[in-house]
Amino acid sequence: MDSTAVRAASVTIRISSPDAAAVSAGSAAGASVGAAVSVTDLILPRAHGPSCGRFVRSRYGAGMTSKTSFLIDDGVAVLLLDDGKANAVGYDTLEAIDAALETAEQDAGALVISGREGRFSAGFDLSVIGEGPEAAQALVAAGARTAARIYGAQVPVVAACTGHALAFGAIMLLSSDVRIGADVEAKIGLTEVSIGMPLPIFAIELARDRLSPRHFTAATSLATVFSPRGAVEAGYLDEVVAAEDLHEAALERAGALAGHVRRTAFGLTRRTTREETIDRILSTLDEDIKSFGVLD
């Protein structure tokens, strides 16, 4: 494929990695197509060049082994989560989400958060949770602040749920404005109670706001897990589409919102409708998180 096939107009790509590498689409620095190197695959919308559809697969950077990729195109920011496994959330992923939100609020009109094929996120990184109560509580507290950050973002956030979304993965869906899921075999839900952990207040408050009241008890106290279609009825998702259409649908919805929503009015309305919930999440967090852990 000619290198012009993977150049996207006005796109800046920042790939989080230990050495904070960054490349610009179409630049000579770090761009390699079809090279036999360790790379991160990145979906570029609106690519130009011969034989290109709306999406192409582009590979960037020798030695790139990051879990997240970020780009902005035509007013829409896209954050891709892909650790090659279950998309477990640790501090690096939380920092990437926070950075994507900050950049989107400055340079874009909407943000899409997407997972890897079959996996949106399986929740917090168990290797950190397993280090002990203090480590678990610190990670969950950081996750709560990121969830509140998504929930209170100053641009619309669209979640492209590619598959399983459990525990913090489900919380990210509850925090997002528009949730579009792939119509695949997947489990979506808050599983904490089923593994002996009480749901923290921040998760309950987000569930109370976003879930159907009819499914609230089942989803929280009973740790019910839903299929994507069931998750629409419960309130984790707004719609499901064929897996091959998911990214197209998410980008189109985000692009429509970016062109439709006026930023100042959106920000003021966001504050009015969500400030009370965010204040409760943050004001109760330090005390509530002390009880987080496996109880039985």
pLDDT in tens, 82-96: 999 999 999 999 999
CB 229 within 8 A of CB 184: no
Q: Kindly tell me if the per-residue pLDDT of 11 is higher than 70.
A: no
Phi, psi (rounded to 5 degrees) for 118: 80, -10
Whether 122 contacts 115, CB under 8 Å? no
pLDDT at residue 8 is higher than 50: no
- Which stretches does DSSP call E strand in 155-208? 157-161, 163-166, 178-182, 188-189
Domains and CATH numbers, the chain: 1-66 (no CATH), 68-291 (3.90.226.10)
- Cα 146 from Cα 143, distance rounded (Å): 5
Contact residues for 74 (Cβ-Cβ < 8 A; gap 6+): 10, 45, 46, 255
Of 66, 57, 96, 102, whose CA–CA distance to 79 is shortest?
96
| Confidence (pLDDT) at 19 | 34
Q: Which residues contact 182 (CB under 8 A, 6 or more apart)?
A: 160, 161, 162, 163, 228, 240, 241, 242, 243, 246
Rounded CA-CA distance 4/214 in Å is: 52
Query: Region 161-166: what's the mean pLDDT?
Result: 98
> What is the percent of the chain with per-residue pLDDT over 90, rounded to a whole number?
72
Cα–Cα distance for residue pair 120/162, rounded to 1 Å: 5
At residue 293 the predicted structure's pLDDT band, cuts being 50, 70 and 90, is: low
Q: What is the pLDDT of residues 104-143, one digit of tens each?
A: 999 999 999 999 999 999 999 999 988 998 999 999 999 9
Helix ranges (DSSP H) in 86-226? 91-107, 126-129, 133-151, 168-175, 201-210, 213-220
In tens, the pLDDT along 208-254 reads: 999 999 999 999 999 999 999 999 999 999 999 999 999 999 999 99
Query: What pLDDT, on the 0 to 100 scale, is given for residue 296?
Result: 61
Please name the helix (run of DSSP H) or strand (run of DSSP E) that holds residue 256, with its range, or none: helix 246-260
CA 285 to the chain's CA centroid? 22
Q: Are 42 and 11 in contact (CB under 8 A)?
A: no
pLDDT of residue 252: 97
Could you tell me the CA-to-CA distances from 3 to 10, 33, 43, 49, 53 in Å, in that order? 16, 7, 15, 8, 15
- Order of all β-strands in the sheet with 22-24: 22-24, 12-16, 68-73, 76-81, 110-114, 157-161, 178-182, 239-241
pTM of the model: 0.80
Which pLDDT score, from 0 to 100, does residue 101 have? 96
In whole angstroms, how large is the CA radius of gyration of the chain?
A: 19
- The 10s digit of each residue's pLDDT in 31-77 is 322 222 222 234 433 322 222 223 323 333 222 237 899 999 999 99
158-162, 177-181, 285-289: segment of lowest average pLDDT: 285-289
Question: Which one, of 226, 247, 232, lies nearest residue 117 by Cα?
Answer: 247
